[in-house]
Structure 1
Amino acid sequence: MAATTSTVSLPSVRYTRNLLLRSMCIIYMFAFLSFYVQIPGLYGDNGVLPAKAQLDLNSPAPLLLKFKQKPTLLWFAPYLGLNVEYMMDVFALTGALLAFLGFVKQKFCKLPMFVLLYSLYLSLYQVGQVFMWFQWDELLLEAGILCIVLTMSWSKKVTPTDPVSLWLVRWLLFRVMFSTGAVKLISKCPVWWNLDAMGVYFESQVIPTPLAWYAHHLPAWYLRLNTVFTNVVELVIPFLFFFPIRRIRFIAFYLHVFLQAITIITGNYNFYNLLAICLSISLLDDQFFYHRKSKTESSQIWKYLTNLICLAVYGGILFGTYKLFNLELKDDWTISSKIGFTQKEFDKAISIVVPASVCVAIASLGIAISYSVVNSLFSVKDTSKKVKLFVKTVIINAVVIYIFALSIVPYTTSLYPKLNSTLPIQLKTQYKKMEPFHVVNSYGLFRKMTGVNGRPEIIIEGSNSIEGPWKEYQFLYKPGNGNNSLPFVAPHQPRLDWQMWFAALGNYHQNPWLMSLAYRILNAQPEVMALLNEVENPFKHSPPKYVRASLFNYHYTPEKNKQSEQAWWTRERASEYFPIFSKDHPPLIEYLQKMKIIQDKPAPKVTNTVLKNALDTLRSVVRKFEATLLLWGMFTAGCAIIMTV
């Protein structure tokens, strides 16, 4: 059988696969560069949470034992004559360079490169501590594993296993989206159940954009309708990712991308939304980009039938939305909405849907694997090539099945624990062994809506006298001074600003790293001060003798005042967050010594002076660029190279 007739039943996915891989390189590039610019302030020897405290490079323990304790390539730092901080620089820069090469040239998107990208990011993640405990970091690691699977075929051309590997990407996208939608209602958060979430979300999100202010002041009924739309896109549309009719999947793709685009323009969620869009490429095929009619598509009967099915599916979703959310058009042309089911009914639905989704996934994956095996047997005539292709297909399919099986554990655990208890103990044991490598993860963003009565913000102040006056420190991106403009900062993630948002939801005892931040401010540590707004530093010439932190409640300025005032926020002090500290405060020093922030023993010396000087020079150059401009500058440079080479 000729190769051209071997895959007539499946659309070509060669271009789709390559586009997904190159898009992943863009995400990796953003992630590594964003991380790189923050290394000294977050993880340097004088940073907020020094990475050297995570790794004892002077330990005489065997290297293998060290890897078992913490799987990171940073253990090799002494072999290059570097310490942990400089080794992190090397890893971040290497990852950014490799990703940039894969972005500008398809030939670099090979298995070794994606193995390196995953390994380097995992190595940094292992010492990232609280500043890297985000779902998008885990999502990038899991997506990186799937890129490795996609490139295991070692072929520029489409292979029988490509549709199977892309199916695994769809399954990841499904888990992310459906879990994110489900946990909102599973959490019993009244704001989500009352459909008031969007009325709070635009004000309470971590780093809002200027458009978030305008979105917050949209009519209440429209914001409630947007909450309905979000629920439907996250809870229902993901099931269409596996639909056999292409047009239905394509519409699901458009809806998914639209939701991510709205999130991008109203909120700074670093590379997360771009990564979600990147994963959605798996819903497409090559005919999406350049239409080439197949014999099936040429049939008018098939065309009418698919149109009819498409109308039936999406018509059914619209009708279901109308009934389940009690949509009603009012006399004033507004649309009222209210959830028409109870928590008990939703929990029962989840108990049915989660196991059903696993069963549907098994069936869908089984069909894809069957096609790949058959195509491997009939796509080439040469017997030796056929055997090699078949063996390769079996191996890759086995890897896909293994990853899929592992993913069932976190998926069911986060949504329906009762199903998890019925899983084989061997499967859960395997998942536990692979957990440090984040091959698969559990997901579910915005479980509960915070900031209902105003967004809490921590304001750090310094003074040279306990009686005051107290002067406020400004951060680069998070709300502080109400007159400061809201920023566009994505795909960069200012991890300190992000963690300040989470810290405001608790107390300083739950966020011990804040004590280190206070200590670094008291010592005016340059690496840490670079993470704050140095232009508005109230103590430029010498650090304050005392620091304190207060908790404020922030609200957007009313719509009627925004036209005449510059302020974006109004705020009122709620309470003390942490008490007054000085840099020689004994309890503070003792606490930081226990955290290994302050250490008596000397750090490992850097003996590779040539590499050290090169890294210092590069750092001094990069420091002159604002992080977001640096990231988009690299992207623009990559686009220019693609267009000219």
Structure 2
Amino acid sequence: MLSWLSGDWFTANEYWSSRLVFQRMLAAVYLVAFICALNQFRALLGERGLTPIPEFLRGTPFRRAPSLFQLHYSDRFFAAVSWTGIAVSVSLLVGVADLLPVWACLLLWALPWVLYLSIVNVGQIWYSFGWESLLLETGFIAIFLGPAHTGVPVLVLWLLLWLLFRLEFGAGLIKMRGDRAWRDLTALHYHHETQPMPGPLSWYFHHLPPWAHKAEVVANHITQLIVPFALFAPQPVASVAAGVVIVTQGWLVLSGNFSWLNFLAITLAVSAIDGTLVGASPPDELATPPTWYGAVVLAVTTLVVVLSYWPVRNLLRRKQVMNYSFNQFHLVNTYGAFGTVTRERYEVIFEGTDEDTIGLYTTWREYEFKGKPGDPYRRPPQIAPYHLRLDWLLWFLSLSSRYGGQWLPVLVTKLLTGDDRIRRLLRHDPFEGSAPKYVRARLFHYRFTTPAERAETGAWWVRRPVGSVVRTCRLGPDGTPVPV
């Protein structure tokens, strides 16, 4: 045993309780992520999905997308990986890792990271969201926190703070650089209404008075551009800064659905809280870390420092990119969101009919999705931390047809055939599994109702058709959609 590992510099045991809470919260996020993968992969990525993994792998070498599925793919194997991830996440959530020796604890925490990395690297456009990389980077660092019976490695805590800093500060910079609405404090006049997937309270947030929206933007700038520096200050300042992050991220949880992004930010902020300040003292005796463990922590810290060159360079550039991974392992990424605020809301609405001919009086029936706005009388649902991948991609499709170039024709084909896998992603199939004769997709302009309109009609949205995304089509002899 080397004496330098038993010194005060290597451990920060006042964060013992924060480590436990952080690990449980991260395990819960892992659990949600693997459940999402299990429930949706067959329709999106399976052998008969919208963008099948086997086709992706045929043109993608291991070095570009390291994954267990490079060795073998089948839908059963993907399900087995997801179920394994669920089982491991549950074991971590209930604290099994804390009962193990250090080496076994690290291996157990490494397992969900390897499994989820394997999924993300073959997930294509469905896994292109920033919170996928955030989960992988957080999960990688968490591997080295160690079990509850050892001291808390201070270097790993610093790595978590560095990640939280980049997440918050990068998001703040991209807003200031990207859209004047953030600079003139008007961004929140639009955001609650036009965000990808509004939640149950978004209507109420949208109707806050203008001064409150400006206050929200000011609070956002303070939290993302100033508070992150305080995370590195001595206690109790760092704990107060973490508390500010937790409160503002909680505000985002209430105002919209952003998958597990906000929950992960809260999880990272917990790691900055000195547990002794809230009366959570560590055990009297904690084991001194093994020599090899200290060496591993130093090696990981060095790796993160080296890889930090690329995100730091990106932060300093005027043309900053957001939500980008600089390596295939999604380590030390750059983050950011809503560099541009959408002023108007549009939705892609799919409709079908089983009538033999198309005419002026054709009755079209609407497909309803689980999360995205559709029926104006349906209250926006609470989805987060769950992630509805198709619903999110349909929001991007409403902004530009280029987002659906690869998968949209396949989706239309599967609607025309009454595909059961796609039906499971829907809230309501108007044809109850049978195949319609014709399908189309129209673009609608949506806006929240005013308080007076809501009181009179009970509707949450007002909508009007503004164009076509997919022309009316039927299934051709070759099994592909044919416009009529």
Normalising by structure 2, we get a TM-score of 0.89
Q: Is the 8 A contact 2:29 2:264 kept in 1?
A: yes
1:417–1:214 distance in 2 versus 1, CA, 3 Å = closer
Q: Is the 8 A contact 2:419 2:433 kept in 1?
A: no
2:351 equivalent among 455, 461, 464:
461
Q: Is the 8 A contact 2:14 2:281 kept in 1?
A: no
Aligned ranges 1:371-382 → 2 under 5 Å? none
Highest relative contact order (Cα 8 Å, sep 6+), 1 or 2? 1
- SS of the residue 2:464 aligns to: strand
- Give the number of the structure whose alpha-carbon radius of gyration is greater: 1
Aligned ranges 1:410-449 → 2 under 5 Å? 410-416=311-317, 435-449=327-341
Q: Distance in 2 between matches of 1:193 and 1:519?
A: 44
1:484-533 per-residue CA deviation (whole Å, 9 max, x = no partner) reads 12111111111111110111110157533111111110010001111112
Q: Distance in 2 between matches of 1:496 and 1:262?
A: 25
Return the offset for 1:194. 2.1
Q: Is the 8 A contact 1:508 1:514 kept in 2?
A: no
2:221 equivalent among 216, 224, 231:
231
Residue in 2 that maps onto 1:116: 111
Return the offset for 1:66. 5.1
1:7 aligns with 2:8: yes
Return the offset for 1:140. 0.4
1:291–1:282 distance in 2 versus 1, CA, 3 Å = closer
Normalized per residue, the structure richer in helix is 1
- SS of the residue 2:135 aligns to: helix
- SS of the residue 1:442 aligns to: coil
Q: Is the 8 A contact 2:412 2:481 kept in 1?
A: no
Q: Distance in 2 between matches of 1:176 and 1:487?
A: 27
1:32–1:104 distance in 2 versus 1, CA, 3 Å = same
Q: Is the 8 A contact 2:239 2:274 kept in 1?
A: no
Residue in 1 that maps onto 2:54: 52
Residue in 1 that maps onto 2:443: 551
Q: Distance in 2 between matches of 1:509 and 1:111?
A: 39
1:523 aligns with 2:417: yes
Residue in 1 that maps onto 2:138: 143
The code of the aligned residue for 1:527 comes to R
How large is the RMSD of aligned CA atoms in angstroms? 3.0
2:434 equivalent among 526, 542, 545:
542
Return the offset for 1:456. 0.8
Q: Distance in 1 between matches of 2:54 and 2:308?
A: 33
Residue in 2 that maps onto 1:533: 427
The code of the aligned residue for 1:558 comes to T
1:59-88 per-residue CA deviation (whole Å, 9 max, x = no partner) reads 9xxxxx9533531112343xxxxx521111
- SS of the residue 1:490 aligns to: coil
1:183 aligns with 2:174: yes
Q: Is the 8 A contact 2:160 2:268 kept in 1?
A: yes
Q: Distance in 1 between matches of 2:97 and 2:395?
A: 41
Structure 1 stretches lacking a partner, 5+ long:
60-64, 78-82, 294-378, 421-430, 591-645
- SS of the residue 1:437 aligns to: coil
- SS of the residue 2:50 aligns to: coil
The code of the aligned residue for 1:176 comes to L
1:279 aligns with 2:280: no
Q: Is the 8 A contact 1:36 1:89 kept in 2?
A: yes
2:476 equivalent among 574, 584, 590:
584
The code of the aligned residue for 2:446 comes to Y
Q: Is the 8 A contact 1:46 1:525 kept in 2?
A: no
* Identity across matched positions, percent: 30
Q: Is the 8 A contact 1:22 1:106 kept in 2?
A: no
1:157 aligns with 2:163: no
Q: Is the 8 A contact 1:552 1:571 kept in 2?
A: yes
The code of the aligned residue for 1:132 comes to Y
Return the offset for 1:587. 10
Aligned ranges 1:19-34 → 2 under 5 Å? 19-34=21-36
Aligned ranges 1:67-466 → 2 under 5 Å? 67-77=62-72, 83-107=73-97, 110-151=105-146, 156-158=149-151, 162-187=153-178, 189-244=179-234, 246-290=235-279, 389=291, 392-416=293-317, 435-450=327-342, 452=343, 454-463=344-353, 464=355, 465-466=357-358
How many equivalent pairs are there? 466
Q: Distance in 2 between matches of 1:589 and 1:538?
A: 19
Q: Is the 8 A contact 1:168 1:404 kept in 2?
A: no
The code of the aligned residue for 2:261 comes to Y
Q: Distance in 1 between matches of 2:233 and 2:220?
A: 21
